[in-house]
Structure 1
Amino acid sequence: MSGLAPPAIWPGTDGAPLSCREKLKVLAENHVEAAQVLRDAFEDAVLMGVDEAAMRRILTEMVAALPSPKRA
């Protein structure tokens, strides 16, 4: 499914792509897991009658509201 493939480049805080194989492996695994959970939640909601556009907005808002792990 397009849009759910991991990004070709994971940009670091300095803008340079991450190159550590272990970090890239973890990021790819996390991406696959997150994509599956989001897909399942989206499909369940739509099949239960939630408006598709509303559910996309709800999921987007959830991601936007995630707190930064860098904040104390």
Structure 2
Amino acid sequence: MAMTLRLTDEQDAALTRLANAQGISKNEAATRAIEEKAARISREVEVRRLTREAIEQYGPLLDRLAQ
């Protein structure tokens, strides 16, 4: 699907620097940045979920060990 991305001059300059540093097109740099951010958010959500589960499961035991 085609999409137009509107950027400020500063954002375009940052995207250009990012693309040049990686030796890729600005389109590829934008695509990779989006995919990397989405993956990072997914990992953070999963870590929070696992942390909540661990606290629920092991919280009472850790409280007893702390005493």
TM-score range, shorter-chain basis?
A: 0.3 to 0.5
Provide TM-score, normalisation by structure 2.
0.47
Which has more radius of gyration? Answer: 2
More helix by share: 2
Higher relative contact order (CA 8 A, sep 6+): 1
TM-score when normalising by structure 1: 0.44
